[in-house]
Amino acid sequence: MDAFSSSFLSSTFTFPSLTTRPPIAPSSLPQIPSLNISAVRIEEKQPQSLTAETSSQSSKTQVHKPPPPPPRRAALPTRNIPKKGAAEPSLPVTIFNALDDVINNFIDPPLRSSVDPRYVLSQNFAPVEELPPTECEVTDGSLPPWLDGAYIRNGPNPQFLPRGPYHLFDGDGMLHSIRIPQGRAILCSRYVKTYKYTIERRAGSPILPNVFSGFNGLTASAARGALSAARILTGQFNPVNGIGLANTSLALFGGRLYALGESDLPYSLRLKPDGDIETLGRHDFDGKLVMSMTAHPKVDPETGEAFAFRYGPVPPFLTYFRFDAQGRKQPDVPIFSLTSPSFLHDFGITKKYAIFADIQIGMNPVEMVTGGSPVGTVPNKVPRLGIIPRYAKDESEMRWFNVPGFNIVHSINAWDEEDAIIMVAPNILSVEHTLERLDMIHASVEMVRIDLKTGMVTRHPLSTRNLDFAVINPGYVGKKNKYVYAAVGNPMPKISGVVKLDVSQTERKECIVGSRMYGPGCYGGEPFFVAREPDNPEAEEDDGYIVSYVHDEKSGESKFLVMDAKTPNLDIVAAVRLPRRVPYGFHGLFVRERDIKGL
Least confident of 98-107, 211-220, 264-273, 322-331: 211-220
For the cut 50, the answer to whether the pLDDT of residue 68 exceeds it is no
Question: pLDDT higher for 100 or 212?
Answer: 100
Closest by CA to 377, choosing from 433, 425, 338, 294, is: 433
User: Residue 458: which H helix or E strand, with range?
Assistant: strand 457-461
Q: For residue 438, what pLDDT band results from cuts at 50, 70 and 90?
A: confident
For the chain, helix, strand, coil in percent to 5 are 15, 35, 55
What pLDDT score does 388 carry?
A: 98
**Strands laid side by side in the 588-592 sheet:** 49-53, 60-64, 131-135, 186-191, 173-180, 149-156, 588-592
**pLDDT (average), residues 76-91:** 50
Between helices 91-102 and 218-233, what is the axis angle to 10°? 180
- How are beta strands 173-180 and 149-156 bridged, if at all? antiparallel
Helix (H) or strand (E) segment spanning residue 366: helix 365-369
Number of H helices, E strands in the chain: 6, 35
The mean pLDDT value for 207-232 works out to: 90
Mean pLDDT lowest among 90-94, 234-238, 563-567, 584-588: 90-94
Look up residue 18 and give its amino acid. L
Q: Which residue has the higher pLDDT, 365 or 236?
A: 236
* Strand partners for 376: 362
266-321 pLDDT, tens digit each:
999 999 999 999 999 999 999 999 999 999 999 999 999 999 999 998 999 999 99
Whole-number Å distance between alpha carbons of 291 and 90 = 31
- The alpha-helical segments, DSSP class H, found in 170-319 are 195-203, 218-233
As a whole number of Å, the end-to-end CA separation of the chain is 30
Average pLDDT (256-273) is 97
Element (H, E) at 102: helix 91-102
Cα–Cα distance between 170 and 39 in angstroms, integer? 16
Tell me: pLDDT of 328 over 60. Answer: yes
For residue 89, count CB atoms less than 10 angstroms from its CB and return exposed for 0-12, middle for 13-18, buried for 19 or more.
middle
Indicate the pTM of the whole model.
0.87
Measured between alpha carbons, how far is 164 from 210 in angstroms, rounded to an integer?
A: 9
Q: What is the pLDDT of residue 496?
A: 97
Q: Containing H/E element for 53?
A: strand 49-53
Binding residues for Fe cation: 296, 345, 410, 587
State the fold for domain 91-598: Methylamine Dehydrogenase; Chain H (2.130.10)
DSSP run (H or E) holding 357: strand 353-358
Query: What count of Cα atoms within 13 Å lies in the side-chain half-sphere of residue 69?
Result: 13
* pLDDT of 34 strictly over 80: no
**Is pLDDT at 500 greater than 60 in this prediction?**
yes
Task: Give the HSE-up count for residue 73: Cα atoms under 13 Å, Cβ half-sphere.
Answer: 9
Look over the chain and give the mean of its residue pLDDT values, rounded to a whole number: 86
SS (H, E, C) 418-455: CCEEEEEEEEECCHHHCCCCHHHCCEEEEEEEEECCCC
Query: Would the pLDDT of 217 be above 90?
Result: no
Write the pLDDT tens digit of every residue in 110-162. 988 889 999 999 999 999 999 999 999 999 999 999 999 999 999 999 999 99
CB 520 within 8 A of CB 19: yes
Domain ranges of the chain: 91-598
Residue 399, phi-psi category: left (phi > 0), alpha (psi -120 to 50), beta (remainder):
beta
Q: Which residues are annotated as a binding site?
A: 296, 345, 410, 587
Position 520, amino acid: P
pLDDT at residue 366, as a whole number: 60
